[in-house]
Structure 1
Amino acid sequence: MESRWGRIAGKVALVTGAARGQGRSHAVRLAEEGADVIVVDSLTDVPGAAYPMATAADLEQTVKAVEALDRRVVARQVDVRDLDGLRAAVDEAVAELGRLDVVCANAGICIPGAWDEITPAVWQATLDTNLTGVWHTIAVTAPHLVRAGGGSIVCTGSTAGVKGVPFMVPYVAAKHGLVGVAKAMANELGPHGIRVNVVHPSGVETTMTEGLGRMMELISENPALGAAAFTNALPVERLQPSEITDAVLFLASDESRHVTGTELKVDAGNTNL
């Protein structure tokens, strides 16, 4: 059952971190708009994270939601930090579905802490997932987009990719780096008709944001820093995943055919303050 609009009808989309949260929202909405979908997730907990990662049951729920829309879906358990595993999973899925047109590099983790609490393991895991994982995703999908004659890559950024959000230095570093990767790849892949953009959400109502207790403690101890970093201009505390998906869909569709190398802020004015 397709949307009456079918804004990406006939296309195939890949979504990383698709088992729940923003990733599931993106996968289901893209299917609603006519795409077949490849969904991947690590399904593996990360040491140091104060919240559980998605499970096989979560990924299966995403699959069922896509199938209920009468769209084809291929699901794989793979960590974006694993370049060879990700390449194999993507190649197999694209071979099954026939092509690839849209890529949502969405997988990410967040482990907050004051600067003197951040361990080398937390630093490395965050950069490996949120930055190197995005690079891996682009690297293994770009050849398929080239063969398709073009496409769209949408990277999940953050307000932490725009400003120096306190108490999450590894996350800030990764999201700032992600912007640079996206802008450079927009230039390199542009001649192939491939667009690369970043969506910057402010806080979104997901399991990840439910696991930020340590950050809340630090904010309470440093209220001025907290107010500067986490206040939205609009009267909303957290956004819903579907509200970020609206922006992703725009960037995935031909409506944004001439949009590349941009940072689209869906942040309730957070970075405008």
Structure 2
Amino acid sequence: MSHHRIGNFQGKVAFITGAAKGQGYASAIAFAEEGADIIAFDLGKKISYPAYNNAQSSDLLKLKETVEALGRKIVIVEGDVRNEADIEKALRLGLSEFSSIDILFSNAGIAAYGYSDELTEEQWDSMLDINLKGSWLVSKHVIKQMKKQQSGVIIYNSSIAGLRGMNRMSHYSASKFALVGLAKSQAIELAPYGIRVVSLHPTGVNTPMNDGLAQLEGTTVEEIAVRSAGNLLPVPWIETEDVTNALLYIASDKARFMTGNQFILDAGLLTR
């Protein structure tokens, strides 16, 4: 019998997109450590844009082993957040194993650089389709289940770029601002059902995405952090555990009156 502690989320189920790496991976483990079972969704393969994105099926299998070692159950599903059939499949598989979906962490997302007048239509569409349309599509199906339960928490992983402009990241910033509008509107729609919706706004986070952006730019990760951020506190970025600590709070009953708002985790960046 593997040892596991009974956490705040015993008996709860967390659905996490972009779960193969970075913040998604860390949050799946954090929720499992606190007692939750997991539905982990990720493409699990390379996409054409941006070039650095290289999550693999093996990342999801590693996550499965880690979560099961914690004594929790996990359903892993490979699919594209832009594809409604893939999302429906994830819901079907998840709900055949678990009876509820209590938390949605809509985390799947990409980031890349490019001046507005130099972006291709394909680059714009990929950014908006994955970051915005994908978030809405996943929520659409999770909401149907949460309405039946009359409970749930939806957390969208936005960014500081969802609250301020970013040089050479207009498509990224536009997609992340849009998540605020989505979250606020859904908070209004879903309050009668006891469902809360919050957007999360981290500064740069120490994940493979940072390495990927540095690779695209031919520079160091530190330079990327300073350029895109310039935190007030003397750190180049925050860690995934800072994000998961925020998630565990937002998703818990301690935050039961938090809905429609933006949870900022920016090391003071927006105050600059």
Does TM, normalized by the shorter one, top 0.5?
Answer: yes
Which residue number corresponds to residue 91 of structure 1? 92
Q: Aligned pair 1:260/2:231, yes or no?
A: no
Number of residue equivalences: 268
Deviations 1:57-85 (A, max 9, x none): 11111111111100010000011100122
Q: How much is the aligned-residue C-alpha RMSD, in angstroms?
A: 2.1
Structure 2 CA distance for aligned equivalents of residues 202 and 61 of structure 1: 27
Deviations 1:83-135 (A, max 9, x none): 12202221221121121111100000112122233111110000000000110
Q: Aligned pair 1:184/2:148, yes or no?
A: no
Aligned residue runs from structure 1 range 114-263, under 5 A? 114-213=115-214, 229-263=228-262
Which residue number corresponds to residue 102 of structure 1? 103
Instruction: Judge which range, 110-119 or 156-165, deviates more.
Output: 110-119
- Against the structure 1 CA distance between its residues 268 and 150, is the aligned structure 2 distance closer, same or farther, given a 3 Å change threshold? same
Match for 1:264: what amino acid? Answer: F
CA contact (8 A) 2:81 2:138 kept: yes
Deviation >4 Å, runs of 4+: 1-5, 214-219, 226-229
Which residue number corresponds to residue 61 of structure 1? 62
Structure 1 CA distance for aligned equivalents of residues 115 and 216 of structure 2: 8
Task: Provide the secondary structure at the position in 2 that maps to 1:112.
Answer: coil
Q: Aligned pair 1:271/2:270, yes or no?
A: yes
Task: Provide the secondary structure at the position in 1 that maps to 2:200.
Answer: strand
CA contact (8 A) 1:2 1:31 kept: no
Structure 1 CA distance for aligned equivalents of residues 29 and 227 of structure 2: 34
TM-score, with structure 1 as normaliser: 0.92
Structure 2 CA distance for aligned equivalents of residues 117 and 214 of structure 1: 19
Where do 5+ consecutive residues of structure 2 fail to align? none
Question: Offset at 1:177?
Answer: 0.4
Task: Provide the secondary structure at the position in 1 that maps to 2:64.
Answer: helix
CA contact (8 A) 2:14 2:103 kept: yes
Where do 5+ consecutive residues of structure 1 fail to align? none
TM-score, with structure 2 as normaliser: 0.93
Q: Aligned pair 1:80/2:74, yes or no?
A: no
Question: Offset at 1:52?
Answer: 2.9
Work out the percentage of aligned pairs sharing the same amino acid. Answer: 38
Instruction: Judge which range, 23-32 or 116-125, deviates more.
Output: 116-125
Structure 1 CA distance for aligned equivalents of residues 216 and 114 of structure 2: 6
